[in-house]
Amino acid sequence: MKKYFTFIALATLTMVALIGCKGAKKSVQYGDLYSEKPLTIYVAPVTDHAERREVKYPGDTKYNNELDLAAKYMYQTTQKPIARLGYYVIGPTAGMQIAAEETRSTSKMMTGDLKSYKNDYGIDAILFPIIHKWKQNKEEWIVYVEYVLVSTKTNSELMHTWVKATKEVKTNFKGVPLTMKFDNDFADDMEMSNASAQRCFLVGQVNDYVLRNLPTSSDRRQFEDDKYFKANPAYFSYYFSTEGDIEISTSTMDDYEEGCFVEE
């Protein structure tokens, strides 16, 4: 797989028709972040709860590999949008070394005391990216993701966002995704199969949309310039069409949990 930085250029090209859907002002939504002014952010390894198939056929292995690659790509593309806002982000290699030193589970870290990360590594906040579920609905591939940014100073949440992300994927009668020009270019550039590229592209797009909404780092003179802009709502839906159009709509906790956690 080639370097993921090409993703940023592709993401920019796709924002043809963006239907805005914003929540409270950033000064309200990110009040604790403005107060604490974190500078160094560590991205924890992706917590992936998505169910894998029991391997009985070659297609099962292929499907599981697609999900594995999507989780890996999600982790690789979390650092870039945060760094563009002026934060110092611990790189993937160093991040995995830090993760290897941690014996607690992600859930225990998210609810526990994180002050050791500040004392030992100089980290001001930790981002926990979570994949809850992948599912397909006709010609739509859907992923339910969650982002939690937690302070290592106060253990308080600086951001908490839940997203239902959908990509329109045309398939043949066997359910195999058809090769569309836009997706094919991305798959070729990233040296992935078409199906893997569909999933990776979607999680990468959502990473960029969610994380670039964070306030600019206090290390930059533009800090607080966007304080009165609208923040993303805590729950929203992200839709990417085959034409490259993006639609954003508000959601609710009940809608998210019903689609993500209720058995079908």
Residue 242: what pLDDT? Answer: 87
Q: Are 70 and 40 in contact (CB under 8 A)?
A: no
Decide if pLDDT at 247 tops 60. yes
The secondary structure of residue 171, as a DSSP letter, is: B
Confidence (pLDDT) at 179: 80
pLDDT tens-digit map of 144-203: 999 999 999 999 999 999 999 999 998 888 778 888 777 888 888 889 999 999 999 999
The pLDDT of residue 149 is 98
What radius of gyration do the chain's Cα atoms show? Answer: 18
Does position 4 have pLDDT exceeding 70, yes or no? no
Calculate the average pLDDT of the chain: 90
The number of CA neighbours under 13 Å toward the Cβ of 221 is 0
Residue 33 neighbours by CB distance under 10 Å: 23
As a whole number, mean pLDDT of residues 83-110 equals 92
Whole-number pLDDT of residue 17: 42
pLDDT at 1: 56
Name the pTM for this structure: 0.91
What's the confidence (pLDDT) of residue 7?
Answer: 44
Tell me the per-residue pLDDT of 51-71, one tens digit each, with 9 for 90 and over.
Answer: 999 999 998 999 999 999 999
Which two tokens mark 129? 């990216």
What is the average per-residue pLDDT within 90-115? 91
- Among the residue ranges 9-13, 20-24, 105-109, 131-135, the one predicted with the least confidence is 9-13
User: Rounded distance, CA 36 to CA 233, Å?
Assistant: 21
Please say whether the beta carbons of 203 and 132 come within 8 A: no
Distance CA 258, CA 252 (A): 10
Coil, helix or strand at residue 223: coil
Sequence spans of domains, the chain: 6-216+230-261
DSSP 8-class letter at 152:
T
| Whether the Cβ atoms of residue 238 and residue 248 lie closer than 8 Å to each other | yes
pLDDT, mean of residues 129-152: 96
Specify the pLDDT at position 21.
67
- 5-22 tens-digit pLDDT: 444 444 444 444 444 567
Top-level class of domain 6-216+230-261? alpha beta
> Are 124 and 36 in contact, with CB atoms under 8 Å apart?
yes
| Helix (H), strand (E), coil (C) string for 24-67 | CEHHHHCHHHHHHCCCEEEECCCEECCCCCCCCCHHHHHHHHHH
For tokens 């809608």, name the residue: 255
Alpha carbon distance 182, 242 (integer Å) = 8
- Are 263 and 54 contacting, i.e. CB atoms less than 8 angstroms apart? no
Q: In 3D, which of 145, 160, 122, 128 has the Cα closest to residue 204? A: 145
